[in-house]
Chains A and B, each alone.
Chain A
Amino acid sequence: KAGVTQTPRYLIKTRGQQVTLSCSPISGHRSVSWYQQTPGQGLQFLFEYFSETQRNKGNFPGRFSGRQFSNSRSEMNVSTLELGDSALYLCASRTDRETQYFGPGTRLLVL
């Protein structure tokens, strides 16, 4: 079974721009969660989508948004980028009962 895939793997943007990251879950997994990982804050939960609906949300500003498609693929969008948004963005998928499996991440650098 193929693992969780994320695109792109690396991205450089400038302040004020917006960015869209993509995540394809493991086949059969309907839940997709997004995390931000920085050296200072560790792994922080952004939101979770299940069957195209946002099921949970972390404490991030409204500039961070996401969606999930009918094939369970998910996208995360960050608008009006700030320097502090530079991070590794990880996506994880799972069935409803098991643990979650992480993708390789997208490393975003905001200049």
Chain B
Amino acid sequence: EDKVVQSPLSLVVHEGDTVTLNCSYEVTNFRSLLWYKQEKKAPTFLFMLTSSGIEKKSGRLSSILDKKELSSILNITATQTGDSAIYLCAVENYGQNFVFGPGTRLSVLP
């Protein structure tokens, strides 16, 4: 059965800190890995990764995929209170199913 694991499940940091969120997966026929940010409502898309070793960046957020280790990390530098959210990792297989991890709840304190 396809599975996505995220760690840590919960994290509390102070503004200005750098955080690294982890995602590992067991999926047959891997197609892509996605990161989403969920605040109060719908998850919003951050990154889609398909190739190993290529870093995707958007401002203070960046992510990289390691297909050999079946994992990905999401880095957030110089965290702000607005980064407080649940960060979801999802993996898509070639059956076009998405399997989501449990999420990492990030709290950034002022």
Contacts and interface: CB of A to CB of B under 8 A. Distances in A.
Contacts of B95: 56
Contacts of A35: 100
B45 A43 contact: no
For the residues of A in contact with B, the DSSP-based class is: strand
Contact of B42 (A33, A42, A44, A102): A102
Interface string A11-44: 0000000000000000000010101000000111
A43 B100 contact: yes
For the residues of B in contact with A, the DSSP-based class is: strand
Contacts, number: 43
A75 to B, nearest CB: 18
Given A42-B102, A43-B88, A101 B96 contact: no
Nearest to B42: A102
B41 interface: yes
Interface in B82-100: 88, 90, 95-100
Interface residues of A, number: 20
Contacts of B41: 104-105
B43 interface: yes
Interface of B: 32, 34, 36, 41-45, 48, 88, 90, 95-103
